[in-house]
Amino acid sequence: MIRILANDGIAASGKRLLEDAGYEVVTDKIPQDELITKLNNFDVIIVRSATKVRKELIDATPNLKAILRGGVGIDNIDHEYAQGKGIPTYNTPAASSQAVAELVFGHFFALSRFLHRSNRELTKADGEFGKLKKAYAGGQQLRGRTLAVIGFGRIGIAAARMALGLGMKVLPVDLYKDQDTVKVDFFDGQSVDFTLQTVPLDEALAQADYITIHVPGGDLIGADEIAKMKDGVIIANTSRGGVINEDALLEALNSGKIAGAALDVFVGEPSPRRDLLEHPRVSVTPHIGAATGEAQDNIGVELFEKIRDHFAK
């Protein structure tokens, strides 16, 4: 029997599908420092963000036949090294796109209407209701604004779909495509297709009122890029910590160049820097982009399909 270690967990739907197909699934977490001696008892490992599968672990587990990441990014896996050793790596890029896009817009609404601050401060107001009402009366609406989508893959397209539905203009940025079609579905079964042309990064930064980033990693936004943005822009990062230089971001927040930053990912996870977490212009979440019941079910099903298809070969 093929043994699978879901070391960072797996949705019940995915576990059930795997077990019904005859696989053994173990969800008891093995600490990172013990994996090097215990992982060789398994044929497959499934991870999320917490567990790292590096060269040393791959070398120590010759029985390993596949590595799977429940999510999009695979930067916690030395996947090219594993591939060279004949061990393929799979991820689940389609499963959580809607969940991540909705989180982005949750942050956008919060920052645009100061929800992230008024939700905390009103409960402590002690008669300051009128003062807070005046302080937070200067919000803005998203309709008619311009959204730059940096990285126009599945998640970027999901974000664009929501923006178009809100009446925003969308400027996609992508290194690998010149255009793509965004299908906006309506409750009555009707849909509208929007073919969007990608634009250079500098052009998108200069025009955007809102920016959302969906790339696998890298050093993308620093002081030079921020200088090209509109004053008062709102930016979201739900991709990877470090995509936005945190020192440059903090400086721009303090000056007001950036009016608000939505951060779900950080350089110092799981201990992000306090000056960002506590900044009044920042709305934060603890890396929960894909953390919805629907997304987890989708990830579980996609993991099952990847494993089934791998061993069917």
Q: For residues 98 and 48, what is the distance between their CA atoms, to the nearest angstrom?
A: 18
Answer yes or no: are the C-beta atoms of 212 and 159 closer than 8 Å. Answer: yes
Burial 153-162 (b: 16+ CB within 10 A, else e): bbbbbbbbbb
DSSP characters over 104-163: HHHHHHHHHTTHHHHHHHGGG-SS-HHHHHHHT-----STT-EEEEES-SHHHHHHHHHH
Of 24, 34, 56, 269, the active-site residue reads 269
Within 10 angstroms of residue 234's Cβ, the number of other Cβ atoms is: 25
Is 102 annotated as catalytic? no
Of 69, 107, 154, 240, the active-site residue reads 240
Give residue for tokens 């664009």. 160
Residue type for position 290? A
Is 240 annotated as catalytic? yes
Burial (CB count <10 Å: 0-12, 13-18, 19+), residue 255: exposed
Of 161, 214, 287, 302, the active-site residue reads 287
What number of CA atoms fall less than 13 Å from residue 168's CA on the CB side?
25
Tokens at 76, concatenated = 């916690």
Tokens at 65, concatenated = 């036949």
Is 287 annotated as catalytic? yes
Q: For residues 4 and 291, what is the distance between their CA atoms, to the nearest angstrom?
A: 22
Q: DSSP assignment, residue 71?
A: S
Within 10 angstroms of residue 194's Cβ, the number of other Cβ atoms is: 13
| Pairing, β 258-263 against β 233-237 | parallel
Q: DSSP assignment, residue 221?
A: B
Give the active site residues: 240, 269, 287
